[in-house]
């Protein structure tokens, strides 16, 4: 089956009595140009792209899995839907370089069962509902050198938003502590079947080492600070943290470096946030 052919994908689903589940974000990518762009971007940061070890979450019917395997990658694919997980390896010819895990990715990451440090990259078309949570959980481990994913356009823009931007939010400030984030391209809803109601974008996160030596207690303070500040994003920080921080700035105006400085100072003071 040509996994980038909408008619063939739809025909397979009908013949096998499979109904894409919108709640699980089962919108299958059926555009070869977009497919190649995602995999190209995902492998561009790998030292040896033709022998990269890649993590994929939400492989669905396996269109991205197949493309990575054809390029020489070893792929670990985590699929929540047991029906799709069961058919994936066989449908691709049972390649020895493919490992399929039938489970919820959030549970797998939380359990620590997967050695994320052993992977060169993550390349995925993330499910809409849980995509942001999955991305944040994985990025917080700082284990993966690069993460290239397709998410809702709104999510991608927030992740990449710089200080001062109206779209800057909690997720972006958390992720940018350890990753440089860039929106690679927008993706039309017509590139999926079934067609989603919102647009998508490919976003790439490349790990940097600017905060590699930051102590865990400062990291914890950083997360608490940012979370509380964005819960009251319309207020000045001096109002949110009365008696602790004197500032007329609002949460989206601060750079990650400024948040790190605040977190470091408050940790040294033993401040309770």
The answer on pLDDT for 21 being more than 90 is no
Q: What is the domain partition of the chain in residue ranges?
A: 6-207, 216-269
Q: Could you check whether 6-207 and 216-269 share the same CATH topology?
A: no
Of the listed ranges 12-16, 28-32, 53-57, 208-212, the least confidently predicted one is 12-16
Element (H, E) at 256: helix 256-269
The answer on pLDDT for 67 being more than 90 is yes
Provide the pLDDT for residue 88.
97
Mean pLDDT, residues 41-67: 96
Per-residue pLDDT tens digits for 123-167: 999 988 899 999 999 999 999 999 999 999 999 999 999 999 999
Provide the pLDDT for residue 26.
86
Rounded-to-10 torsion of CA 218, 211, 38, 28: -10
Distance CA 236, CA 254 (A): 11
The per-residue pLDDT of the chain, averaged, comes to 95
Provide the pLDDT for residue 147.
98
Mean pLDDT, residues 47-67: 97
Provide the pLDDT for residue 16.
87
The answer on pLDDT for 25 being more than 80 is no
Share of the chain above pLDDT 90, in %: 90
Close Cβ partners of 49 (under 8 Å, ≥ 6 residues apart): 43, 71, 72, 73
pTM for this one? 0.95
Provide the pLDDT for residue 97.
98
Of the pLDDT bands very low, low, confident and very high (cuts 50, 70, 90), residue 19 is confident
What 3-state class would DSSP assign to 147?
strand
Provide the pLDDT for residue 160.
98
The answer on pLDDT for 23 being more than 90 is no
Q: Which of 264, 25, 22, 33 is nearest to 132 (CA)?
A: 25
Provide the pLDDT for residue 247.
95
CATH architecture of 6-207: 3-Layer(aba) Sandwich (3.40)
Tokens at 48, concatenated: 């040896």
List, in sequence order, the alpha helices (H) in 44-130. 63-70, 82-91, 105-111
Of the pLDDT bands very low, low, confident and very high (cuts 50, 70, 90), residue 7 is very high
Distance CA 177, CA 76 (A): 26
Per-residue pLDDT tens digits for 159-193: 999 999 999 999 999 999 999 999 999 999 999 99
The answer on pLDDT for 228 being more than 80 is yes
Contact by Cβ (8 Å): 101, 84:
no
What 3-state class would DSSP assign to 42?
helix
Q: Which CATH number fits domain 216-269: 1.10.8, 1.10.260, 3.40.1350, 1.10.3720?
A: 1.10.8
The answer on pLDDT for 87 being more than 80 is yes
């Amino acid at each position: 089956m040509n996994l980038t052919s909408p008619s063939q994908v739809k025909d397979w689903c009908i013949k096998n009595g499979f109904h894409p589940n919108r709640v699980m974000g089962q919108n299958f990518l059926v555009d070869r140009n977009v497919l190649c762009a995602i995999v190209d971007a995902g492998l561009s940061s790998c030292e040896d792209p033709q022998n990269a070890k890649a993590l994929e979450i939400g492989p669905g019917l396996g269109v991205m899995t197949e493309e990575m395997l054809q390029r020489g990658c070893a792929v670990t694919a985590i699929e929540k839907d047991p029906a799709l997980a069961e058919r994936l390896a066989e449908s691709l010819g049972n390649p020895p370089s493919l490992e399929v895990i039938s489970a919820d990715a959030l549970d797998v990451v939380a359990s620590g069962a997967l050695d994320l440090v052993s992977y060169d990259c993550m390349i995925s078309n993330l499910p809409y509902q849980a995509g942001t949570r999955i991305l944040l959980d994985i990025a917080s481990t700082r284990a993966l050198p690069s993460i290239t994913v397709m998410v809702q356009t709104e999510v991608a823009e927030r992740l990449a938003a710089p200080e001062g931007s109206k779209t800057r939010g909690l997720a972006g400030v958390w992720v940018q502590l350890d990753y440089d984030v860039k929106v690679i391209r927008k993706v039309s809803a017509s590139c999926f079947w079934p067609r989603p109601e919102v647009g998508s974008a490919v976003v790439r996160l490349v790990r940097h080492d600017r905060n590699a030596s930051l102590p865990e207690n400062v990291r914890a303070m950083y997360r608490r600070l940012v979370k509380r500040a964005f819960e009251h994003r319309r207020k000045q920080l001096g109002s949110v943290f009365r008696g602790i921080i004197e500032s007329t700035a609002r949460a989206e105006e601060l750079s990650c470096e400024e948040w790190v400085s605040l977190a470091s100072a408050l940790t040294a003071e033993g401040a309770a946030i």
